[in-house]
Amino acid sequence: MTAQAMVALVEACRQELDEVGYCVIPGALCGEDLEATQRALDRAAAEDNARGVALRYGPNGANQRLWALLNRGEEFVRLAMHPLGLAIVRSGLGPGIQLSNLSANITGPGGDHEIGRLHTDQGF
């Protein structure tokens, strides 16, 4: 991607974030990256289940939350360090950003997908 195309994409994403509150970036990750991230997420969920520390919620505990993913696989570090994602975040918050958490919410069969809808945990 050219620098000009990257700037245009970041600007379009910022506008969508401002207007809608989120943005979807089709093709930001290749199929191989998506598959590796899915395997790592499945592995982390299985580890929590096996250790008896899985945080389950929703109907019949069908949903599972996974915390501190940056410590649980290189796949998550690569995801957090994605150049396009960082450019979008920096476009709104400035260059001096700090990522404090990377977590996942898994909606299992029969789970309530509304529980994980887009929201803010802290309003400051």
Residue-averaged pLDDT of the chain: 88
Task: Please give the Cα distance from 4 to 11 (Å, whole number).
Answer: 11
Backbone angles phi, psi at 119, to 5 degrees: -160, 175
pTM: 0.80
pLDDT digits (tens, 9 = 90+) for 113-124: 666 566 666 665
With a cut of 60, say whether residue 106 has pLDDT above it: yes
pLDDT digits (tens, 9 = 90+) for 21-46: 888 887 888 889 999 999 999 999 99
**DSSP helix/strand/coil, 42:** helix
**E strands present in the chain:** 55-57, 63-66, 104-107
Q: What's the pLDDT at 25?
A: 84
pLDDT digits (tens, 9 = 90+) for 55-68: 998 888 899 999 99
